Amino acid sequence: MAGIEITELHKRFPDGTVAVEKLDLSMRDGELFVMLGPSGCGKTTTLRSIAGLERQTSGDIRIGHRLVNDLPPAERDIAMVFQFYALYPHLRAKDNIAFPLRAEGTPEAEVKERVAEAARMLRLEALLERRPNQLSGGEQQRVALARALIRQPLAFLMDEPLTNLDAELRADMRTSIKHLQQRLGTTMVYVTHDQLEAMSLGDRIAILNKGRLEQVGTPLEVYNRPASLFCAGFIGSPPMNLLPVEVSEGRLRTPGGLSLVPPGGLSTRQGLVAGVRPEQLEVTTPDAGDAVPARIVSEEVLGDEIIYVVSAGGADVRVRMPPTSRFGLDAPVGLRHTGSPPPVYDATSERLV
Ligand code: ADP
Ligand code: MG
């Protein structure tokens, strides 16, 4: 097992595209580290560089303190699982799983034992004799995972391994992967563009944007205190309301008069944006204390909650309410802030103040 250290990783493709820009990341030994970001932000390029499938333009990669810049993929001792299952079509599941061991010349008795163990972990026992075209997408991906897990490498690299599965199976596999990783205790770098997947899987999450690092933190840290407006808009469903605000006389207010719980130590200032989670706002009666006059624009009833869009002081905001709350469309209501002080950003630098 090993941690992974990336220092000033830079990747410029021959056509001039800069995919990764001076990226510093440190994955701890044994952690499930998620790289999250929109399509094209450089996740795959970073992962392929760690695996040795891509040669970085500059920067260093260390696996377990060993500098691996010049090592070919086979000598880096890591296992990678891709978005597409990449099984050998002519081999049965058991032989696909056994492939890495046989390539290393492992004795056949041990191969059988370890295939059986991997199959047990991924509930594949009944499917071992089948070829890939006799397996569903989810089953193929479990075979691909078993093939990666069988090698007991220094680290696992996963590139959106669940993207091609339907929602229910994806949730199921997510749980399996998390359990397996915890049981094996092997460092895993897991790439996804899905913030829910990142939140539910990661011990820590790195958020990438245009080849650069925006933030690293635990799921709760990035949820409660996104480091930039980009992160604020990316994490959470529905995402934060990003409201222009100003500070005067120690109060934090939108131009429309909505008062937010002020963070300590803010001096009088304009050009600010507050990030307010939908669950930290409350729709109430028009005459409630602290409330600004508002109007319900739309409602989305989701069973366990209702997401209202509320117009107040010229801005539309999203509010998450319990399913028992019912306000008529277009009815006059009040809106107030109920949570802890929101993170506040400088509108120009787009970073926390
Ligand atoms: P992600 O996995 O986050 O979607 P990638 O790492 O695949 O992002 O790509 C990052 C950027 O690099 C994108 O703009 C992509 O178009 C570009 N890119 C990826 N591979 C190549 C390549 N072989 N040649 C040129 N540009 C590439
Ligand atoms: Mg990718």
DSSP string of 74-137, one letter each residue: GGS-EEEE-SS----TTS-HHHHHHHHHHHTT--HHHHHHHHHHHHHHTT-GGGTT--GGGS-H
pLDDT band of residue 293 (cuts 50, 70, 90) is very high
> What confidence category does residue 152 fall into, taking pLDDT thresholds of 50, 70 and 90?
confident
Two structure tokens written together for 14: 């021959």
Candidate ranges 181-185, 249-253, 328-332; pick with highest mean pLDDT: 181-185
Mean pLDDT of the chain: 93
CATH match of 4-234 with 3.30.420.40: no
Tell me if 228 CB under 6 Å of ligand 1.
Answer: no
Q: Is residue 46 within 8 Å of residue 20, measured between CB atoms?
A: yes
Q: Check pocket membership of 16 for ligand 1, CB cut-off 6 A.
A: no
39 CB under 6 A from ligand 1? yes
Least confident segment among 52-66, 153-167, 334-348: 153-167
- pLDDT level of residue 328 (50, 70, 90 thresholds): confident
| Span 25-48, average pLDDT | 98
Question: In the structure, what pLDDT confidence band is assigned to residue 180 with cuts at 50, 70 and 90?
Answer: confident
- pLDDT for 327 beyond 80: yes
Instruction: Report whether pLDDT(54) > 90.
Output: yes
Ligand 1 atom with the shortest distance to the CA of 208: 3
Specify the higher pLDDT residue, 86 or 127.
127
Measured from the Cα of 42, ligand 1's closest atom is 6
Q: What's the confidence (pLDDT) of residue 251? A: 86
Cβ neighbours of residue 23 under 8 Å, at least 6 residues apart?
A: 6, 8, 9, 10, 42, 46, 59, 208, 211, 212, 213
Query: Residue 259: what pLDDT?
Result: 92
User: For residue 10, what are the contacts with CB-CB under 8 A and spacing of at least 6?
Assistant: 18, 20, 21, 22, 23, 56, 57, 58, 59
The full set of domain ranges for the chain reads 4-234, 243-346
Confidence at residue 102, expressed as pLDDT on a 0 to 100 scale: 94
Q: Is 207 in the pocket of ligand 1 (CB under 6 A)?
A: no
Q: Report the pLDDT value the prediction gives residue 240, as an integer from 0 to 100.
A: 95
190-205 residue pLDDT tens? 999 999 999 999 999 9
Average pLDDT over residues 298-322: 93
Q: Which residues pair with 9 in a beta bridge?
A: 23
Element (H, E) at 230: helix 229-234
Tokens (6 digits) for 174:
């997510």
pLDDT band for position 44 (cuts 50, 70, 90): very high
- The answer to whether residues 280 and 321 touch, using CB atoms and an 8 Å cutoff, is no
**Residues 208/35, Cβ–Cβ less than 8 Å:** yes
| pLDDT at residue 84 greater than cutoff 80 | no
Tell me how far CA of residue 300 lies from CA of 52, 128, 318, 323, 326, in angstroms: 47, 45, 10, 10, 11
Domains 4-234 and 243-346 are alike in CATH topology: no
Percent of the chain at pLDDT exceeding 70: 99
Residue 85 clears pLDDT 80, i.e. is over it:
no
Residue 55 CB–ligand 1 contact under 6 Å: no
Query: Which of 25, 44, 57, 209 to mutate to test ligand 1, by most ligand atoms within 8 A of the CB atom?
Result: 44
Superfamily of domain 243-346 in the CATH hierarchy: Nucleic acid-binding proteins (2.40.50.140)
